[in-house]
Amino acid sequence: MAFAFDWSIKASETETVELNSNQFLRNSPAGSLGSYTTLNTDAEARTPTSKFNFRGDGTYKKYWGPGAAGTASEFLNYGFSARYEQREKTRFDREYVEASWRQQSTALALLNDLGVSVPTSGFIDRLTATGGVDRSITAIDTVSLLATSSRTSYEPSSGGTPFTDTLVRGNWRRALSSVTAINVSSEYELLEYGNSFNTQVQIFRDQVGFDATLSAVLSFRANAGVAYLVTDRGVSTSSFGGVTSATPVSSSLVDWIGDAVLTYRMLKSTTLSVTASQSVGPSVVGSLFKRDSVIASLSHSINARSTLSFSASGNRQISTTTTDYASASATYSYNLTREWLASATYRYLHRFASSGTAIFDPITGTPTVSGTGPADSHSLMFVVTHNWTVLPSGN
């Protein structure tokens, strides 16, 4: 049996320069200069009913100036993934499997996910396997099943608490009309930590929601439900902190979760989007967080080449401390050519004073906030991206 594949390879390179008054949100601000280089590549092989993708990416970050003193000034983040997808007779029906591996600086992972700056070295390694099935069971009903598991470890091994994160999700969607549908989803997540107690956390999430295209310019989507957390052999009386115990303890917690998205096309070239969400789950290092966020963005196409966008957001992170953040940004993007894109962004970020005094997660031992006091940062970021085709499709 012979297989004929249509091969293509695409790549991109991004160079970024950032001037920041307080890059790491310290209580005593100082300026810094950051330089970031990112490389991406995507090799794809297609047949009429399947495709295989192999992707690789890497980012190197370097900081200079008094604002980077006392912390790691160089960060590396790179990874690879392979995905195979088989499509069936209808557009929605498919099966897929994916495997990925990623290594990133521990300090960079904490900074990107939690906004926490720590003077640490070493790397986080994450190996992930994923598989899923999407099916149209009737003309108006679709079902999706997904299973994924990742193993997070550290180099050196003393750099953090290793853990395994396994999640299974099922989703059912029914179209009530051409513009309205309802969604029902259920998730089970198991977190297994390699600490002294071998702590386990189970998270059950159940949600129901709908999406509606209210008009040619207005659409709305919302989901809401509950999250039930069960901690076994924990080191705290609560999954979100509490009094640390010297002996294993068990606990449970119930909270609501949800998300909503409103999209309004105000003008032919202007779109407003408002998003709100509340979630409960692990961070990149396994520490548990409850996160609330509200984001509003406005995008305006000035002409075929340039775009102006504005964004404002507020979010709250709850773990061993409760910390609120507010930010606002403005971005101007310009397509220099078909392959070259340039942009300039100004961003303001404020961290309010935290409530609570325990800044370390009791299960993983990692910090949950850079500081308990308020902090501000002003940032100017200039970005140039080059996209090119190494091998066009048709080979």
pLDDT greater than 50 at residue 37: yes
8 Å CB contact between 234 and 192: no
Average of pLDDT values for 218-230?
A: 96
Cα–Cα distance measured from residue 204 to residue 134, given in angstroms and rounded to the nearest whole number: 22
Residue with tokens 């409103």: 262
Is the predicted pLDDT of residue 310 greater than 50, yes or no?
Answer: yes
Is residue 192 predicted with pLDDT exceeding 90?
A: yes
Res 246: pLDDT: 58
Higher pLDDT: 84 or 113? It is: 84
pLDDT at 238: 46
Instruction: Read off the tokens for 390.
Output: 């190494």
| Contact (CB, 8 A) for 219 and 211 | yes
Residue 362's pLDDT is 65
pTM of the model: 0.88
Average pLDDT over residues 311-336: 93
pLDDT tens sequence across 118-173: 777 789 999 999 999 999 999 999 999 999 999 999 999 888 899 999 999 999 99
What does the mean pLDDT of the chain come to?
90
Residue 237, Cβ density class (10 Å: 0-12 exposed, 13-18 middle, ≥19 buried): middle
Phi, psi of 117 (to 5 degrees): -105, 125
Alpha carbon of residue 376 to chain centroid: 23
Q: Tell me the pLDDT tens digit for each residue of 228-266.
A: 999 888 775 444 444 455 577 788 889 999 999 999 999
At 245 the pLDDT is: 53
For residue 241, what pLDDT is reported? 44
Least confident of 3-12, 111-120, 310-319: 111-120
Q: How far, in Å, CA of 165 to CA of 169, rounded? A: 13
pLDDT at position 365 over 80? no
3-state per-residue secondary structure call for 165-226: EEEEEEEEEEECCCCEEEEEEEEEEEEEECCCCCCEEEEEEEEEEEEEECCCCEEEEEEEEE
Q: What is the per-residue pLDDT for 124? A: 94
Cβ atoms of 262 and 274 within 8 Å: the answer is yes
